[in-house]
């Protein structure tokens, strides 16, 4: 008989795991309580990129005259049309995933899955009906939700989560974004481009205060935000939000969390804004899963502990995706790969070698304006790991293609091991950086050196030439850079 595989969660980790397990001969049931595609499709990656595409187009229209295109009449964004387009795309994508799963013989159950006991999941459907589903192997892929802060909880009208931002029916005149991480910075550029007065409040000393993002990217991003008239207040926290007036009265204080040893005193300790968007983290959706019924080990607020084979503390139970928490890498493409590993291990005989998840070479894609693509170590990480390093940086403005498309802001930075010239990390900020990082990812996966990349022919005129330029400079043979 086929192995009975139950997967709880139909996001990019869960549905990919389902496809792989089915391909390997499993009898797969996928449980999803809302919409297929998870946070990425419904409340994250895809809807925000749909909005960014419109914001990019709007900015291009505004400067069309300088590019030799005359546009007559007033150009204005239409949030109603934008939201309708977003919903049409999301609906199409959900149907596509459902059709794909069904074509693989996967059973899709809509409802809430709770682990009842060893080998048994209870499914609660929307109408309250409960049924028991038996499993041989279980993969948990339930993900996360936006973190609610007790000092200024979401009211979904003036104090918004990242989910709320994606369903706004009009562009606010002003918005304060709490958190200068990936989500906060992406939304800042989108809404600034659409005509909103945006302020970011960040507790740390820089934007994108992530170890995997090189500080040079943060510095250049701050410069670009100033060009877009986005106000940035670092080393600062929000202590309170008053919603009794027309907008939000926001109280500020010097951050106790900052890594800046000498943060500046605040010029003003209060902001007024139409709305406040809280983008400071996510929390696990483990409540009600019944993890305690089979003694699955968790940590913190409910993050599930799993090894690199995606095995939890309980035999035949696996966990993947954002539910693993910040100890792993919380990205959609990481969840998908974890899903492949979990499914392969779930379907293998106990005596077979296990598949293992690797976290050393994972590309990061940040859709700011300009975009950011990263892979491998930052310079600071490389030094702290004991490497003797050399770095090279080249501006995108040296590329003919960047000049031709009028997107010259940006920089490529490569970190190499001094003795071997092996690439340790690449950090791009510039046009289409999220696409260009793929070459660096493959290079690092294969252990290539800067010399080997420099001796690879890159087509001209393309933005991909930036990798050849920065690799040549890292190898001591600079070209235009």
Domains by residue range for the chain, with CATH: 4-146+283-347 (3.50.50.60), 159-279 (3.50.50.60), 364-474 (3.30.390.30)
460 is catalytic: yes
Q: At 326, is the secondary structure helix, strand, or coil?
A: coil
With 90 as the cut, is the pLDDT of residue 2 above it?
no
pLDDT digits (tens, 9 = 90+) for 405-449: 999 999 999 999 999 999 999 999 999 999 999 999 999 999 999
- The dihedral through the CA atoms of 70, 224, 400, 446 has a sign that is negative
Q: Residue 350 above 90 pLDDT?
A: no
Q: So what's the pLDDT on residue 140?
A: 98
Given this model, what pLDDT does residue 351 score? 86
Q: For position 6, what pLDDT does the model report? A: 98
Which pLDDT does position 1 carry in this prediction? 65
Work out the average pLDDT over 338-363.
96
b/e per residue, 75-91, with b = 16+ CB within 10 A?
eebebeebbeebeeebe
Compute the distance between CA of residue 165 and CA of residue 456 in angstroms, rounded to an integer: 43
**Ramachandran region of residue 421, left (φ > 0), alpha (ψ -120 to 50) or beta?**
left
The per-residue pLDDT for 142 is: 98
Query: Residue 115 — φ and ψ, nearest 5°?
Result: -75, 115
Q: What is the pLDDT of residues 294-319, one digit of tens each?
A: 999 999 999 999 999 999 999 999 99
C-alpha neighbours within 13 Å on the C-beta side of residue 350: 3
Q: Which of 337, 427, 432, 460 is the catalytic position?
A: 460
The residue with tokens 């490569």 is 414
Give 282-307 as a 3 state SS string.
EEECCCCCCHHHCCCCEECCCEECCC
The pLDDT tens digits of the residues spanning 175-230 come to: 999 999 999 999 999 999 999 999 999 999 999 999 999 999 999 999 999 999 99
Residue 407 CA to residue 276 CA, distance in Å, equals: 31
Inter-residue contact 437 to 353 (CB < 8 Å): no
pLDDT more than 90, % of the chain: 97
Q: Give me the chain's average pLDDT, please.
A: 97
User: Is the pLDDT at 170 greater than 90, yes or no?
Assistant: yes
- From the number of C-beta atoms within 10 Å of its C-beta (0-12, 13-18, 19+), residue 102 rates as exposed
Average pLDDT over residues 59-68: 95
- Write down the pLDDT at residue 211: 95
Give mean pLDDT, residues 78-91.
Answer: 97
400 pLDDT above the threshold of 70 = yes
Asked whether residue 401 carries a pLDDT value surpassing 70, the answer given is: yes
What is each CA distance from 389 to 309, 379, 412, 422, in whole angstroms? 32, 8, 16, 10
370 prior amide bond cis, ω within 30:
yes
Whether residue 272 has a cis bond before it, omega within 30° of 0:
no
pLDDT at 107 over 90: yes
pLDDT at residue 66 tops 90: yes
pLDDT in tens, 248-264: 999 999 999 999 999 98
For residues 185 and 104, give the distance between their C-alpha atoms in angstroms, rounded to a whole number. 39
Task: Collect all residues with Cβ–Cβ distance below 8 Å to 376 and sequence separation of at least 6.
Answer: 360, 361, 415, 423, 424, 425, 426, 440, 444
Give the integer Cα–Cα distance in Å for 37 and 122.
22
Mean pLDDT along residues 98-114: 98
C-beta of residue 297 within 8 angstroms of C-beta of residue 313: yes
Q: Are 396 and 427 in contact (CB under 8 A)?
A: no
- Sign of the CA dihedral running 265, 267, 269, 275: negative
Note whether 184 and 286 are within 8 A (CB).
Answer: no
List pLDDT tens digits, range 359-378: 999 999 999 999 999 999 99
């Amino acid at each position: 008989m086929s192995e009975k595989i139950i997967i709880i969660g139909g996001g990019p980790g869960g549905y990919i795991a389902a496809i792989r397990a089915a391909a390997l001969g499993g009898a797969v049931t996928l449980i999803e309580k809302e919409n297929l595609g998870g946070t990425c499709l419904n409340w994250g990656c895809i809807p925000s990129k749909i909005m960014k595409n419109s914001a990019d187009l709007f900015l291009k229209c505004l400067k069309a005259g300088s590019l030799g295109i005359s546009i007559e009449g007033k150009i204005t964004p239409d949030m109603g049309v934008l939201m309708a387009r977003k919903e049409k795309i999301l609906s199409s994508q959900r149907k596509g995933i459902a059709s794909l799963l069904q074509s693989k013989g996967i059973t899709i159950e809509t409802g809430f899955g709770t682990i009842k006991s060893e080998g048994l999941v209870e499914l609660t459907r929307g109408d309250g009906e409960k049924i028991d589903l038996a499993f041989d192997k279980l993969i948990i892929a339930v993900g996360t939700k936006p973190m609610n802060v007790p000092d200024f909880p979401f009211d979904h009208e003036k104090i918004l989560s990242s989910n709320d931002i994606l369903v706004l029916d009009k562009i606010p005149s002003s918005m304060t974004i709490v958190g200068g991480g990936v989500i906060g910075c992406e939304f800042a550029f989108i809404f600034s481009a659409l005509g909103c007065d945006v302020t970011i409040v960040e507790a740390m000393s820089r934007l994108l205060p992530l170890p995997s993002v090189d500080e040079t990217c943060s510095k250049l991003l701050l410069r670009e935000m100033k060009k877009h008239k986005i106000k940035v207040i670092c080393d600062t926290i929000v202590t309170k939000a008053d919603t009794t007036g027309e907008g939000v009265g926001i109280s500020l204080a010097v951050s106790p969390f900052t890594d800046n040893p000498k943060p500046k005193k605040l010029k003003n300790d209060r902001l007024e804004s139409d709305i406040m968007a809280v983008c400071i983290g996510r929390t696990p959706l483990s409540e009600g899963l019944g993890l305690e019924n089979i003694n699955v080990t968790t940590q913190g607020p409910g993050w599930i502990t799993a090894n690199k084979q995606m095995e939890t503390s309980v035999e035949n139970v696996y966990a993947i995706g954002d539910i693993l928490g910040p100890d792993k890498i919380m990205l959609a493409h990481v969840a998908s790969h974890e899903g492949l590993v979990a499914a392969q291990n779930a379907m293998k005989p106990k005596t077979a070698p296990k598949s293992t998840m690797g976290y050393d070479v994972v590309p990061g894609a940040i859709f700011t304006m300009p975009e950011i693509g990263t892979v491998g170590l930052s310079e600071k990480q490389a030094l702290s790991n004991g490497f003797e390093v050399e770095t090279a940086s080249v501006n995108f403005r040296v590329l003919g293609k960047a000049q031709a498309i009028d997107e010259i802001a940006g920089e490529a930075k490569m970190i190499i091991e001094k003795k071997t010239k092996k690439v340790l990390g690449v950090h791009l900020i510039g046009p289409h950086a999220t696409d260009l990082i793929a070459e660096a990812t493959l290079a690092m996966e294969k252990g290539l050196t800067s010399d080997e990349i420099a001796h690879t022919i890159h087509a001209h005129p393309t933005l991909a030439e930036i990798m050849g330029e920065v690799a040549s400079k890292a190898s001591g043979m600079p070209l235009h850079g």
